[in-house]
Amino acid sequence: MAWDTERTKRLLLDAATEEFSAHGLAGARIDRIAASAGVNKERIYQYFGKKDELFETVLATRLRATMDDVPMTGEGPEAVGDYAGRLFDHHIADGVIPRLVAWEGLELGTAPAAGAERRRYHEEKAERFAGMLPGVDRDTAGELLLTIVTLVNGWPVLAQLDELLVPGAGGRAAGRAARVGRRRAAIVDMATAAARSALAGA
């Protein structure tokens, strides 16, 4: 029977995503990834190269999927706020991107796991975002997008600060759902206001 290369790659990427999300780049183990995928670890090196290259592939793949899952639509401040809210919803439902990006920042600092594909992705994302605010220059749009991304990515991985700064906000299940809603509303309001300011200064 022919070897299903694409299926094997998917299994390895799924297992690697879980491993890197839980343990970061330094803490991840190729042996665990291979065992979780049910694949010989030599396949990892064959398909993806070294561990840091696998991490880069995992992150680039998940980021690209997120851009498809959370499209940038419409124009104006309300559209920007809507995008921020939908991105927040995505990251609350699936916290992988915030964790991977946090690990990348902690472990690699200003030398991100960014190959050519990743850089193209970010440029495309920034250009799409700039298209939501006609008249705003690319750098200003990039600053605003960075603000939204850090707001949205930060909350899922900084739960301890939420409890310290808004004591008791997390609470039980019902309280937690309400807290998520309040945080979402705050992010939407901030993104909308920042977009209005950017347009006013254009």
CATH number at residue 182: 1.10.357.10
pLDDT of residue 145: 96
Structurally, the chain folds into a number of domains equal to 2
Q: Both 22 and 82 in a single domain?
A: no
Higher-pLDDT residue of 86 and 174 is 86
| Domain assignment of residue 186, given as a range | 55-200
Structure tokens at 197: 């300011």
Q: What is the arithmetic mean of pLDDT over 64-88?
A: 96
User: To the nearest whole percent, how much of the chain has pLDDT over 90?
Assistant: 72
> Of 49, 70, 88, which residue constitutes the final position of a domain?
49
3-state secondary structure of 133: coil
pLDDT in tens, 148-175: 999 999 999 988 888 888 877 655 555 7
61 exposure class (CB count in 10 Å sphere: 0-12, 13-18, 19+): middle
User: Is 2 a residue whose pLDDT tops 50?
Assistant: no
Q: What is the arithmetic mean of pLDDT over 68-96?
A: 96
d(CA 180, CA 162): 11
pLDDT of residue 166: 84
Chain mean pLDDT for the chain: 90
User: Is 109 a residue whose pLDDT tops 80?
Assistant: no
Q: Both 63 and 39 in a single domain?
A: no
Higher-pLDDT residue of 176 and 98 is 98
Name the range with the highest mean pLDDT among 134-138, 167-171, 185-189. Answer: 185-189
pLDDT of residue 108: 84
pLDDT in tens, 5-51: 899 999 999 999 999 999 999 999 999 999 999 999 999 999 999 99
CATH number at residue 27: 1.10.10.60
Q: Both 39 and 88 in a single domain?
A: no
Q: Both 10 and 68 in a single domain?
A: no
